[in-house]
C-alpha cells in the first residue's frame, strides 16, 4: 500500500520530460543570446579601432619586473598614482648608451662582429612597460596605453584616441550606451560616415567614467616619436587637447614618456603637470646585460666580463 502511494504522488514521465525540454530551450536561448551579444561586442570594438591600432605592445611582466625601483619610489611617481598632479611627464634618453660603449671598445672577433643593436635597451619604453604591468596587478583599475612606433610617419591624433577608447571599452563589462548609440547610428547611416575625432574623444571621457573604481590611467610612451609628415604639430595639438581635458575633469591620470626636447611642449599643453627627469639605474643595466650576454656561448667568460664592465663604465660616465 505504501509503495502505491509513492507512485501516485510522483510526477509522471511526460511531465518530467516537458520540464527538461523547457529548461533546455531556455538554456539554448541564453547561450544564443550570449553569443549574439559577444559578437556584437566584438563588432563594436572593431568599429572603434582594429585590434592593435598601430601601438607597440608593452613588454612582458617578466622582462621588466623589479626594474626602475628608484623611479617607483620617487616622490613624483608616488604623487602621480596618489592624489598629486594627474599628469606626469617623464623625460630621459630613449636608450642606454650601449652603442656608444661598444663603438669605443671597437670589439671585434674572428670572422664576426657583435651586432650593436643587440645591446640597445629602450630605456623609457621599459619604464612605461613596468608601470603598465605594475598597475595591471589591480584588476579593478582601468588602464589604457599607446606606445608610439617610430617607423610610423603618418600617425594621427584620431587613431591614438580610438586605440585608447577601444582598450577602455574592452575592459568594461558592457558597452556604454553612448558608444552603442554612435555605433548603431553608423550602421543605419546609408553613407556610413564615421564619427568625428571630437566625438571619439567625448566617448573616451564618458567610457572612462564608467569604471566603478578610480583612478583610471592612460600611458603614452615615446611621445617624441609621434610623427606625421603632413601636419605633425597640428596632430600633436589635436591629441594633447582632449587628453588635457581628461586630466582636468579627473577622468584619468596620464603618464607620458618623451625625450627632453618635447618637455616644454607637453608642459604647456598639460597645465600643472609634474616633470620627472628619469635616469638609468645601474642595477637595471646590469640585469639587462646579464640576460643578453650570458646566452652568447661563442664568447668566453673573460670577454663577457670585459663587455659588461665597459658598458657599465660608459653609462656611468654619461650620468646614468
Q: What is the pTM of this model?
A: 0.78
- 139 versus 164: the higher-pLDDT residue is 164
**Is the predicted pLDDT of residue 133 greater than 60, yes or no?**
yes
Q: Are 271 and 247 in contact (CB under 8 A)?
A: no
Which range, 63-67, 87-91, 303-307, has the best average confidence (pLDDT)?
87-91
Per-residue confidence (pLDDT) for residue 234, from 0 to 100: 97
The full DSSP string for 184-237 is: HHHHH-TT-PPPPHHHHHHHHHHHHTT-SSS--EEEEE-GGG--BTTTHHHHHH
Q: Where are the domains of the chain?
A: 14-48, 53-317
Lookup: cell for 74: 620617487
Which range, 14-18, 27-31, 178-182, 277-281, has the best average confidence (pLDDT)?
178-182
Q: Are 223 and 262 in contact (CB under 8 A)?
A: yes
Residue 56 sits at the vertex; the CA angle it makes with 51 and 59, to the nearest 5 degrees, is 115
Per-residue confidence (pLDDT) for residue 291, from 0 to 100: 74
Per-residue confidence (pLDDT) for residue 29, from 0 to 100: 58
Q: Which CATH class is domain 53-317?
A: alpha beta
First to last CA, the chain: 94
pLDDT in tens, 1-28: 455 554 444 556 667 667 776 776 666 5
Per-residue confidence (pLDDT) for residue 28, from 0 to 100: 59
Name which of 101, 160, 150, 142 is nearest 122 in CA terms: 150
Amino acid at each position: 500500500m505504501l509503495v502505491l502511494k509513492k507512485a501516485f504522488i510522483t510526477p509522471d514521465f511526460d511531465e518530467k520530460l516537458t520540464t527538461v525540454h523547457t529548461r533546455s530551450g531556455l538554456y539554448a536561448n541564453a547561450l544564443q543570446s550570449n553569443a549574439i551579444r559577444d559578437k556584437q561586442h566584438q563588432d563594436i570594438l572593431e568599429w572603434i579601432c582594429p585590434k592593435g591600432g598601430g601601438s607597440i605592445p608593452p613588454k612582458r611582466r617578466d622582462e621588466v619586473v623589479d626594474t626602475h625601483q628608484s623611479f617607483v619610489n620617487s616622490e613624483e611617481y608616488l604623487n602621480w598614482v596618489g592624489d598629486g598632479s594627474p599628469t606626469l611627464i617623464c623625460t630621459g634618453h630613449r636608450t642606454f648608451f650601449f652603442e656608444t660603449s661598444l663603438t669605443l671598445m671597437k670589439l671585434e672577433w674572428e670572422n664576426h662582429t657583435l651586432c650593436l643593436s643587440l645591446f640597445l635597451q629602450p630605456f623609457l619604453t621599459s619604464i612605461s612597460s613596468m608601470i603598465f604591468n605594475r598597475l595591471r596587478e589591480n584588476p579593478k583599475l582601468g588602464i589604457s596605453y599607446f606606445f608610439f612606433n617610430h617607423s610610423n610617419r603618418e600617425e594621427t591624433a584620431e587613431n591614438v584616441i580610438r586605440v585608447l577608447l577601444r582598450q577602455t571599452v574592452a575592459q568594461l563589462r558592457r558597452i556604454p550606451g553612448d558608444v552603442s548609440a554612435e555605433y548603431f547610428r553608423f550602421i543605419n547611416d546609408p553613407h556610413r560616415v564615421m564619427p568625428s575625432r571630437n566625438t571619439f574623444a567625448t566617448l573616451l571621457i564618458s567610457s572612462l567614467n564608467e569604471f566603478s573604481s578610480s583612478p583610471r590611467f592612460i600611458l603614452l610612451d615615446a611621445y617624441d616619436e609621434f610623427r606625421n609628415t603632413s601636419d605633425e604639430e597640428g596632430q600633436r595639438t589635436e591629441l594633447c587637447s582632449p587628453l588635457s581635458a581628461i586630466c582636468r575633469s579627473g577622468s584619468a591620470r596620464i603618464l607620458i614618456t618623451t625625450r627632453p626636447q618635447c618637455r616644454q611642449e607637453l608642459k604647456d599643453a598639460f597645465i600643472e603637470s609634474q616633470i620627472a627627469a628619469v635616469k638609468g639605474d645601474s642595477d637595471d643595466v646590469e640585469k639587462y646585460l646579464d640576460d643578453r650576454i650570458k646566452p652568447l656561448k661563442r664568447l668566453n667568460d673573460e670577454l663577457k666580463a670585459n663587455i659588461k664592465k665597459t658598458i657599465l663604465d660608459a653609462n656611468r660616465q654619461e650620468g646614468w
